Structure 1
């Protein structure tokens, strides 16, 4: 395999970091807007808060664009700040030491299942579940998952024994995902023919 040149590695890190920063900003914006929803109201009044917050974000972006148009030098500051943030976010994940060979009583498939269970529970946060597309978005900055698809992720999880549900409702949109209840009932029982383990991304 050809070793990447330093410039190529730097470009890959900036690209990976930019994607991660963009995903985090979008997730923050969606969560902030959703927090404006009023559960004690019904109809359009309940969604007035998210609509106002969305309008506030749009006005803020428009104001920033107008300011940059009037003061083009600000683009250098914004570009530099973005590059530094992307560089920091795109750093290679730390690979934990693999002690499976040193501890013969530990089952690799069980260890992988526990790592996935921990990751999925973390991504559900305080919600009843997590969509597979959200999990994939979290994984794609990792080299092992770059270019992979939701069906790939679904197949990998189900091979480990993690059940997926076609109608996990998070944020009002039901789609394929994993429920918190299903994760909490998982037990690390070793299967007779476990799938080849892949290291869980950090």
Structure 2
């Protein structure tokens, strides 16, 4: 891969990560505006107020950049710098190409641990578990699916797991065949931190 292509790839990956993180944070901020002591449409007034505040902020930014178009250069430079930092390759991306990597076994052990006695686990359950332990913040089920598939762990479209009435994307126990030498890993292990 040429240097230009790798630079563009890093900026694209960083921009995607940055956009997802910003969107997740803004979505969470808007959602926190919902009042639990009220019901119906009154409970969501706080969310609507925050959405209006965001729309006003975007309008203000548009007005400022229209009045001073050179400010866009500064904003673009700030975004590219943040995207460059966010797009830095992680060691796990290098390990993703190695099917017998120890991290692969740790991820398989984590999935089996989350399954318990069940025959499958939903990806949203895995993602929720990781985020409860401070990992994969701002990531989506699609990110997790891509990560698992890169490690050679098959993800099925419709998996039925205990406690859920609707089949959704997940991993089946039959596809996870850990080697006998692999040691079980505690469910709080930072095995899939990105």
TM-score category of the 2 structures, normalised to the smaller one: 0.5 to 0.7
Match of 2:24 among 27, 34, 48: 27
3-state SS of the aligned residue for 1:91? coil
Match of 1:136 among 142, 155, 160: 142
Gaps of 5+ in 1: 127-132, 146-151, 168-174, 179-189
Whole-angstrom CA distance in 1 between matches of 2:193 and 2:133: 18
3-state SS of the aligned residue for 1:47? helix
Structure 1 window deviating more from structure 2 (19-28 vs 112-121): it is: 112-121
Contact 2:108 2:176 (C-alpha < 8 Å) held by counterparts: no
Whole-angstrom CA distance in 1 between matches of 2:169 and 2:163: 5
Alignment root-mean-square deviation, CA: 4.5
Provide the residue aligned with 1:77 in structure 2: 74
Gaps of 5+ in 2: 115-124, 180-190
TM-score, structure 2 normalization: 0.63
Whole-angstrom CA distance in 1 between matches of 2:178 and 2:83: 34
Q: How far did 1:58 drift? A: 0.8
Q: How far did 1:44 drift? A: 1.1
Q: How far did 1:22 drift? A: 0.6
Matches within 5 A, 1:1-202: 4-95=1-92, 109=105, 111-116=106-111, 120=127, 121-123=129-131, 134-137=140-143, 144=150, 154-155=155-156, 165=164, 167=166, 176=168, 194=177, 200=192, 202=194
Whole-angstrom CA distance in 1 between matches of 2:74 and 2:9: 22
Q: How far did 1:93 drift? A: 1.1
TM-score, structure 1 normalization: 0.61
Contact 2:30 2:50 (C-alpha < 8 Å) held by counterparts: yes
Deviations 1:24-71 (A, max 9, x none): 111111100000100110111100000000110111011101100100
Whole-angstrom CA distance in 2 between matches of 1:101 and 1:45: 54
Deviations 1:141-195 (A, max 9, x none): 89938xxxxxx9742996xx9879465xxxxxxx9468xxxxxxxxxxx979728
